[in-house]
Amino acid sequence: MTRSSWLHRDTTVAETFQRRAARADLLSKSSGEEEVLRFAAGLHRAQAEVAAGLQAQEADGALSGTLDQDLPVLAELLEGVVRYCGKQGPQGLRASVAAHRSHAPGSPGAAALLDWWRTSRSGRVSYLARALLRPYAETLASRGVAPEPMDPSRPSRWGHRGCSSCGGLAWIGWRRSGNGDEAAARYLGCGLCGREQQLARIACAACGESDPDKLAVFATEQHPAVRLEACDRCQRYVKSIDLTVDGLAIPEIDDLASLSMDLWAAEQGYERLEPSLAGV
């Protein structure tokens, strides 16, 4: 089952980004990952401005879901995100911004954005493209506008486990209480359009492997609400946040407070299905 993000209920996409920013600011005061959380807060505020601008445009039915048609609407709105990433981002992201600006005067990086949208839609290929087009993808999802399909010749490694709506990959998981005596249900959140998808309790989020002997769960006392759900078949994993521990958690933001677990997973040879807001 796939549906628009639970964060979108009873609120606008712009307000959703502001909620994420507020959560990042709050966690930055008590987490050892203050720098990345403060960067995430600023990024979400810049993305909220894009979403607010798109909301005004969408009132006139301006968004089609086909990026080359929608870029004229997007181009000016995206400048705030580009500027923020260029000034506040780490060195690698600043370099991406410089390359983005050099490609298309008047419409920064349009060709590169179109190529990314049509062939990968993954933050592993371009963190900047995902940051720029995420408000667009979430706005399409919240309005029920279907995005154009990706090129079927895209790399097969993304497989059939991408979001059924936009083709993006899940970058975070969470568990929340089931109904009655049911065990907590597992969900995945798309890193691009924000849609949530319920996942079988025993299954790899990447390849679908269901043999318990090939599925591993790693946890640490330092982060009691967090676990890594890994697969020894495809060597990939997704991080999962237990919302029964903290009902105020926003998984993609709370994720950033446990970056040490991602670094440990990489040392063990596992690859995250989709990089987090920290780029890992």
Angle at 251 between CA 155 and CA 202, to 5 degrees: 65
Q: Are 177 and 187 in contact (CB under 8 A)?
A: no
Helical residues (DSSP H) of the chain, grouped into ranges: 13-28, 34-58, 67-88, 91-103, 110-119, 127-143, 251-254, 259-267
| Range in 13-17, 177-181, 223-227, 268-272 with the lowest mean pLDDT | 177-181
Which pLDDT band, with edges at 50, 70 and 90, does 43 fall under? Answer: very high
Higher confidence at residue 159 or residue 9? 9
Give the dihedral of Cα atoms 197, 201, 204, 208; nearest 10 deg.
-80
Calculate what percentage of the chain has a pLDDT beyond 70.
87
Q: How far apart are CA 90 and CA 104, in angstroms?
A: 23
Average pLDDT, the chain: 89
Q: Mean pLDDT check: name the lowest of 70-79, 144-153, 186-195.
A: 144-153
pLDDT for position 53: 95
How many CA atoms does the CB half-sphere of 17 hold within 13 Å? 24
Question: At what angle are helices 127-143 and 110-119 packed, to 10 degrees?
Answer: 70
* 186 has pLDDT over 60: yes
Mean of the pLDDT values across residues 77-87? 96
Domain boundaries, given as residue ranges, for the chain: 2-143, 158-272
- pTM for this model (two decimals): 0.91
Q: Are strands 271-272 and 226-231 parallel, antiparallel or unpaired?
A: unpaired
Reading the block at residue 60, the tokens are: 């006139």
> Are the CB atoms for 57 and 15 separated by under 8 Å?
no
Question: Would you state the pLDDT for residue 110?
Answer: 86
Structure-model confidence comparison of residues 9 and 42, the more confident one: 42
Greater pLDDT, 160 or 42: 42
Query: Does the domain made of 158-272 have the CATH classification 3.90.1670.10?
Result: yes
Of 1-5, 7-11, 194-198, the poorest mean pLDDT is in 1-5
**Is 220 within 8 Å of 206 (Cβ atoms)?**
no
Q: What is the pLDDT of residues 119-157, one digit of tens each?
A: 999 999 999 999 999 999 999 999 889 999 987 665 434
Asked if 141 and 155 touch (Cβ cutoff 8 Å), the reply is: no
- Return the half-sphere exposure (C-beta side, CA atoms, 13 A cut-off) of residue 174: 23
The model's confidence at residue 177, banded by pLDDT at 50, 70 and 90, is confident
Nearest to 217 by CA among 186, 180, 176, 179: 186
Q: Please report the pLDDT score of residue 156 as a whole number.
A: 39
Q: Which sign does the torsion angle of CA 68, 97, 87, 141 carry?
A: positive
Contacts of residue 11, defined as CB under 8 A and 6 or more positions apart, other chains included, come to 19
